[in-house]
Structure formats: C-alpha cells, structure tokens
A and B are shown apart, each in its own frame.
Chain A
Amino acid sequence: MDSIEKEISRGRRTFIKKVLGGTVAGSLLLVIPAGAMDLANIPEQITGMRGKTGPFITEKKFAFIVDITRCIGCGSCCVADKNEYQVPDGMYRTWVERYVIDDEDNVYVDCPNGGLDGYQEPRQDIPHPIRDTFFVPKLCNMCEHPSCVQVCPVGATYQTEDNFVLIDAKRCVACGYCIQACPYGIRYINPETRTADKCSWCYHRVRKGLLPACVDVCPVQARKFGDLNDKDSEVYKILHQPHVVSVLKPGMGNKPSLHYVGLRREVV
C-alpha cells in the first residue's frame, strides 16, 4: 500500500513539476520569438539551393511540369497563388481551365474566376452527351525564347541564367507590349503597382530551396517542379521517359520550359 501511495505522490509531484515547467516554457515562447518561421527549420524541398550567393543560379535548369491526367480542378493552386502574391481580383498569375468534349466533338472551355473557387458543379449547358472532360492549369511558360523579353523596350522584363523570366517593377513603364507579345495571355497590368505582372514560378521561394506555392499545395501532384540537371529529379525522369509530353503552341517557337503530361490537341 505504502509503495502505491508513494508512487502516486511521486507521480503527482512529477505532474505538478511538468505542468509548472510547461507553463513557464510556454509563457517564454509567447514572449521570445520562437524561431518557428526560421528557414533552417523548414526542410529544403529543392536540394542544393540554400547558402547560394550571387544573382543567378547557373548550375540548375528548372522545368515545370503539369500533369493534366492528374488535375482534379480543386483550385488549391489558384488560392495558394492569390495568397502568396495578393493578386488583385480579376487578374490571374495562374488559372485552371475546364475542358468538356461532347459526342459531337464540340469543345467547351470555361474558367470562371480563374478556377479559384474550384470546379464543384458540372456544366449544365452542354446539349449533347459528354465524352471527355479534363482540367488544364495554366501559368507562365518561362520560354527559352521569350517574346515578352524580346519586345520590352526598357529591359524591365528579363531572363535569368537559370531560365526564369522575371519583371523588374522598378523599370517597367507599363507600355503593355509584353502583354500583346505573350502567346499565352499570361501577363496583366497590376493596378496597384501600375506595372506588368505575371507568374514567376515563385522565384523568391525557389531561391530559398522551396517549391513554388502552387506545387506545394497541389493535393494530387499535378504540378511538378524541379531541376533538369539533376537526373534523380522527378521532372528529369518524366521528360526522359516515354510519356506523352508536349508544350503549348509549339509553333510559336518560344520553347516553353513548362511542359504538359497528357496534353490534348484541343488545348490552346
């Protein structure tokens, strides 16, 4: 009996000690910045990116792959993107299109609110039986020969050595020529900065070893991002294995670094 009571009181003492300790530690955490957001505590999603200096990452060649056969049209990527950049309403850095093909081979495409709300209801206005339907996420194609860079009169749109096409908002005059030149309709004038704006494949995250926000949140891995110089990367494997892979508007000659798995001929 004695030993049991002893045991209980010891447990009680330990319990009280732990509660006190926890309370003190917890209170301290509230006062002292916890460092939970410290980059070092977030696992590196793209290897070999941390601790890099200099403006460009030269030894990497990034590629983006969208797997149309996987996309479920949930819109998570669009929401993540809007949150990441506070994209003004009515403008889209990325969007998800819904394709519906009926028995008569008619193609119906829509993209209400850029797909931000997800496709929760089927289309009701198709007069014939539907034979196929799929979703196509769109974002910057990061062309190897970008028209936007070619036409920008002041060099505000430029290409980095690691294949990103970015915009210097401090130089952009907002002439809108890049908007006309982009074959993919990716660009818009941001009404807040009054400069051209577009998807950047989350360059700021990539530089810190993190995946683009849309890739990070995709629940079905329809969006993939990685380094083509890394033979173990998923993007390398997809592009070097016998998959059905294509790019948008190949005839434009822009050579996009954005590839689509299972791209259908109906997609423009």
Chain B
Amino acid sequence: MNPEHGMAVATALTNYVFPNELHVHWSLMIVLYPYITGIVAGAFIVSSLYHVFHIEALKPVSRYALVFALAFLAFATAPLLIHLGHPERAMSMMFTPSPTSAMAGFGYIYSAYAIVLILEILFIYRPTLVALKQEATGFQKPLYNILTIGSDNVSEKSLALDHKIIAFLAAIGIPMACTLHGYVGFIFGGVKANPMWATPLMPVIFLLSASVSGIAGIILSYILIKTFTRKFIDMDCIRTLIKFLWGCFILDFVFEMLELFSHAYMATHHWEALRDLYFGPLYNSFWVAQVFIFSVIPLVLLGILSLVKLPDSWVKFWGSLVSFMILIQVILMRWNVVIGGQLMSKSERGHTTFHPMWFEKEGILVSIIIMLLPIVFLFILSKVFPFWLDDDTVAEKQLT
C-alpha cells in the first residue's frame, strides 16, 4: 500500500468523535478534586501509622499530619463547586440524593470523615489548647474556649479517656480515609461507558496514589517548614517516611502499570481505542512524564534513599526533591485518568483535544489559587494548633 494512503487511512479511521464529545466536560477542577482528597486521605494515614500502628518514628509528624489533612480537606469541595453549573443546588445531593448514584454518597462520606478528623484534632490537641487558653488574650480566648469545648480538665484520668477516644477515632478514621479515596476512584471506575475508567482496579489505584501523595506532601512540607523556621529536623522520622513512601509507591506504580497491562493483554474491542489514546494524545503526559520522569526516576531515588546510608543533608535534599516529584506524578496520574479518559470518544473511532486556558472559570489560574488556599489555611491553622511537639511541652508529656 502506498504509505501516503496508509497515512490517510490512519487519520480518517481515527478521527470520528461523537458531535457532543468534542468538548471535555470534566476539566481541571475534576483533576484537582481527587488530587486534594487524595492528599487528605494520605496525610491521615501517616498520622494513623503513629496513633494506631504505633510507628514511634513518626511521632514528630503525627499531629502535624492531621492539621495538614484538615487544611486540604477544607478545600476539597472548592473545585467541585466551581465546576457545577448550578452550585446553589449542590446541597440537594445531601438532602435529596439519588441512592443509585455513585456520586451522591460523596457529601456523606466527606462530612463524616471531616467530623472524625476535626474531633481527632481537638482531642489530640486538647491539653495544648487548654494550656494556650490560659495564656490567650483578646479574640483568642473565646476561640480556644470553643476549641476546648469548654473543658479545662487535664487530670490524668481525663487524659486517659482522651487517649482511648483518640485511638478509637484514629481506628475508625483509617477505614474512612480509605473509603473516602477508594470511593473517589469508584466514581470513575463505575462508569462502564468509558473503557479507560471502567476497571475494578481504579479504586485501588486511587487509594494507593492517595497514600503516596499524602506521605510525599508531609515529607516535603515538614522539611520545608523546619528548614525555613530553622528548627530541628528529626531525620529518623524523615527516613521512616521515605521508606513508607517507597513501599506505597512501588504498589501504586505496579498497579498503575498492571491496569494498562491488563487492558493490553485482554485486548477487548476497546483496546484499539485505548492504545491510540495512550500512544497518541497521552504519549507525553503519560509515558514521558508520568511513567518515566516522575515514576521510574523517583522509584530509583527512593530505593537508594531507603537502602543506602546517606548523610542527613543528602536525605533532606533528595527526600524533598523526590517528594515533590511524587506530588507531580500523582497530579499527572489524575490528569491522565480524568482528562485522558474523556479525550477518547465513545465512538471508539477518535479522540478530541483539551487545552486548559489561563483565565477561564475552570482554568489554570483558578487551579493554582485552589492549590494555594490549603497552604494559606495551613499557615493560619499553625497559629492555633502548634504543629511540632518539640515546642509544646504540655503535649510532649501527655503523649509519652
């Protein structure tokens, strides 16, 4: 066959998109939504590793991880509300939900998780908050009054009870954090009309990438905050976190590849369209960026950091860099799943294109602002909830 003809055939064969599918409906906001909820779930898991599984090395970040989770949780719904055509009707998802909808559960799961997280923070911080209340002046006084729920009792008996409540909340928090993010994966995995999304592995991949992004977020922010405030960095904690990050990321990456491999191996009638997608419009964002630069390289780096005894300064530098790369990997994964899945037309004969704009309602600028808001909120929270145990003698005593 004449190669030119071959080209013409290839183009003609792959360019029919159903007329309503030229527009990508779930854009940047829906990329950010699972990204933010993932960070929340992952950070909570870090905290639970100490509070429930008693990984002592993680004690320095055990409280901080919860406040970090709260800062992101507060903005998890922001991209959803911006995305909705009628945000003023958003609450009808909670008041009059349709029981068959995979999406209708989000409000409940999110709220229940928020309640557990806030309660856990309040109980863990209670002795600290009581102490701070004594020193508080002006508007801080009523604030700490609310946060301590009116109780100043820090007797041993009372703290022992707090301990039990904390353990209970952390214990139910783990399945809830897993549900929160596994469920977000199911919102995509349950869409049978989209062969890229419709896989039972989707919740697993979302959950694993959530853990990974949460741990990476904690490592990066811990090193950055401590470095900029010129405070002591607990290297044992960092090294342990890196090992957990390595382990979770191995699982995450393996499952991500397995998912693609199963599609290719089973090669159902969808595979042709999926292959065209992965090797066509997603080639750079998936193979080059997500897989090679931001997965393979971090895997090697994490392996070295975990197995080789390196000087502290190296661990700090490479640990932050690799965490940053993992955070990019996870957002690339969200992009490739959310946007990638929609590029492929249900005609299975072609794909559309998507180029986000800077200044549209769901554009790049709004996305950057949304990602900055949790960081700003985290700074505000730091004024109320001291992150680190080493500047907090009250809590130090209680936890030991």
Complex: how many Å from CA A104 to CA B10?
A: 13
Which residues 83-123 of A have a CB within 8 angstroms of B? 90-92, 95, 97, 104, 106-111, 114
Q: Is the CB of A147 within 8 A of B13?
A: no
Which of B20, B80, B97, B192 lies in contact with A186, CB distance below 8 A?
Answer: B20
| B97 touching A154, Cβ below 8 Å | yes
List B contacts of A111 (CB < 8 A): 16, 19
The answer to whether the Cβ of A268 comes within 8 Å of any Cβ in the partner chain is yes
Known: A149-B100, A194-B85. A106 touches B9 (CB 8 A): yes
B22 to chain A, nearest CB (A): 8
Nearest-neighbour CB distance to chain B for A156, whole angstroms, equals: 8
Contact, CB under 8 Å: B346 / A153? no
Which size class do A's interface residues fall under? 35 or more
Whether B346 and A177, one on each chain, are in contact in the complex, defined by CB atoms closer than 8 angstroms, is no
**A252–B193 touching, CB < 8 Å:** yes
Q: Is A68 an interface residue (CB 8 A)?
A: no
Contacts of A252 in B (CB 8 A): 192-193
* CB of A202 closer than 8 Å to a CB of B: no
A153 to B89, alpha carbons, bound, how many Å?
A: 11
How distant is the Cα of A127 from the Cα of B18 in the complex, in angstroms? 23
Contact, CB under 8 Å: A173 / B193: no
A47 within 8 A of B: no
Chain A 169-188 interface 0/1 with B at a Cβ cutoff of 8 Å (1 = within):
00111111101111111111
In the complex, A209 Cα to B13 Cα: how many Å? 42
Report if A211 contacts B (CB, 8 A). Answer: no
In chain B, positions 12-63 with a C-beta closer than 8 Å to chain A are 12-13, 16, 18-23, 25-26
Find B101's partner among A90, A127, A138, A153 (CB 8 Å cutoff): A153
Per-residue CB proximity of B75-115 to A under 8 Å, as 1/0?
A: 00000100111110110110011101111101000000000
A155 in contact (CB, < 8 A):
yes
CB of A153 within 8 A of CB of B98, answer yes
Chain B residue with the shortest CB-CB distance to A148: B193
| Docked-complex contact B97 and A185, CB < 8 angstroms | no
Q: Looking at the complex, which one of B2, B21, B101, B348 makes contact with A151 (CB distance below 8 Å)?
A: B101
Q: How far is the CA of A187 from the CA of B12 in the complex (A)?
A: 25
Chain B residues with Cβ below 8 Å from A179 are: 20, 25
Q: Known contacts A109-B16, A153-B98, A186-B20; decide if A173 and B90 are in contact (CB<8 Å).
A: yes
A residues less than 8 Å from B16 (CB atoms):
97, 108-111
CB contacts (< 8 Å) of B83 on chain A: these are 175-176
Interface presence of B157 (CB below 8 A): no
Q: Is the CB of A180 within 8 A of B191?
A: yes
A215 at the interface (CB under 8 A from B): no
Q: Quick check: B191 and A154 within 8 Å, CB to CB?
A: no
Q: How far is the CA of A155 from the CA of B95 in the complex (A)?
A: 11
Instruction: For the complex formed, measure the closest distance between the CB of A73 and the CB atoms of chain B, giving whole angstroms.
Output: 15
Task: Give every chain A residue within 8 A of B85 (Cβ-Cβ).
Answer: 172-175, 189, 194-195
Docked Cα-Cα span, A252 to B80, in Å, equals 28
A152 at interface, CB cutoff 8 A: yes
- Judged by a CB distance under 8 angstroms, whether B345 is at the interface is yes
* Also in contact, A154 and B194, with CB within 8 A (given A95-B19, A173-B90, A194-B86): no
Q: A150 near B: Cβ within 8 Å? A: yes
Closest beta carbon of chain B to A135's beta carbon, Å = 14
Q: Which residues of chain B in 338-377 are interfacial with respect to chain A, using CB atoms and an 8 Å cutoff?
A: 342, 345-349
Known: A127-B8, A155-B98, A173-B92. A183 touches B192 (CB 8 A): yes
Is A125 an interface residue, CB under 8 A from the partner?
A: yes
Q: Which residues of chain B have C-beta atoms less than 8 A from A177's C-beta?
A: 101-103, 187
Q: Does B309 contact A (CB under 8 A)?
A: no
Output the least CB separation between B307 and chain A (Å).
43
Contact of B349 among A127, A180, A184, A268 (CB under 8 A): A268
Q: Are B100 and A150 in contact (CB under 8 A)?
A: yes
Nearest Cβ distance between residue B383 and chain A, in whole angstroms? 36
Which residues on B sit within 8 Å (CB–CB) of A127? Answer: 2, 5, 8-9
Q: A125 contacts which of B8, B18, B23, B92 (Cβ < 8 Å)?
A: B8
**How many whole Å from A194's CB to the nearest CB in chain B?**
4
Chain A residues within an 8 Å CB radius of B18: 138, 184-185
Report yes or no: A268 in contact with B347, Cβ–Cβ below 8 A: yes
In angstroms, Cα B106 to Cα A95, docked, is 35
CA A174 – CA B92 in complex, angstroms? Answer: 12
Question: Could you list which residues of chain A lie within 8 angstroms of chain B, going by C-beta atoms?
Answer: 90-92, 95, 97, 104, 106-111, 114, 125-128, 138, 147, 149-155, 171-177, 179-189, 194-195, 252-253, 268
Question: Can you identify 15 A-B contacts, CB atoms within 8 angstroms?
Answer: A91-B20, A104-B9, A108-B13, A111-B16, A125-B12, A128-B5, A150-B100, A151-B190, A151-B191, A154-B96, A175-B84, A180-B26, A182-B193, A189-B85, A268-B348
B residues with a Cβ closer than 8 A to A are 2, 5, 8-9, 12-13, 16, 18-23, 25-26, 80, 83-87, 89-90, 92-93, 96-98, 100-104, 106, 187, 190-194, 197, 342, 345-349
Closest 6 CB pairs of A and B: A174-B85, A185-B18, A194-B85, A183-B193, A109-B16, A153-B104
Known pairs A109-B347, A114-B19, A268-B348; list 8 more (Cβ under 8 Å): A92-B20, A97-B16, A150-B101, A151-B191, A173-B87, A179-B20, A180-B191, A184-B18
